[in-house]
Amino acid sequence: MPKEPTYTGTQQLRIEPSAIPGALAAFREAYDRVTRKVSELGGLPITRWAGDPVSAETAKLFGDRTNGGGADSALECLLGYQRQLENAIDSLERTEQAYLETEGTNTERWGNYA
């Protein structure tokens, strides 16, 4: 029986040098999309729709789960994902810069490391 994957802790991404520009573009696009969602979620008004005590309590619970700041709130999950994407982008940019310093802009040579 195959072992279930572990998605916690430090993860590593192995990438061919020639794929770095495309990977950077994909990670930047994902980062921008998540950043927009964080902004939208942070500005989401959660109101007492019926103006009664029941809807007030429900609105509070919904707000806590959405953007209340708890570790498992939607906002905190998105912020964590945003940080992971930012770290991946930073790492890819450093790697790309190292290859550029070593190989120059001769991207034809970048694919010859297999």
Tens digits of per-residue pLDDT, 86-107?
A: 999 999 999 999 888 887 766 5
pLDDT at 3: 67
Give whole-number Cα distances, 65 to 49, 52, 57, 70, in Å: 17, 20, 12, 7
Is the pLDDT at 114 greater than 50? The verdict is no
Distance (Å, whole) CA 55 – CA 48? 5
* 44 or 41: which leads in pLDDT: 41
Question: What are 45-86's pLDDT values in tens digits?
Answer: 777 777 787 778 887 777 777 777 677 788 888 999 999 999
Q: Which residue has the higher pLDDT, 40 or 1?
A: 40
Q: What is the largest CA-CA distance in the chain?
A: 68
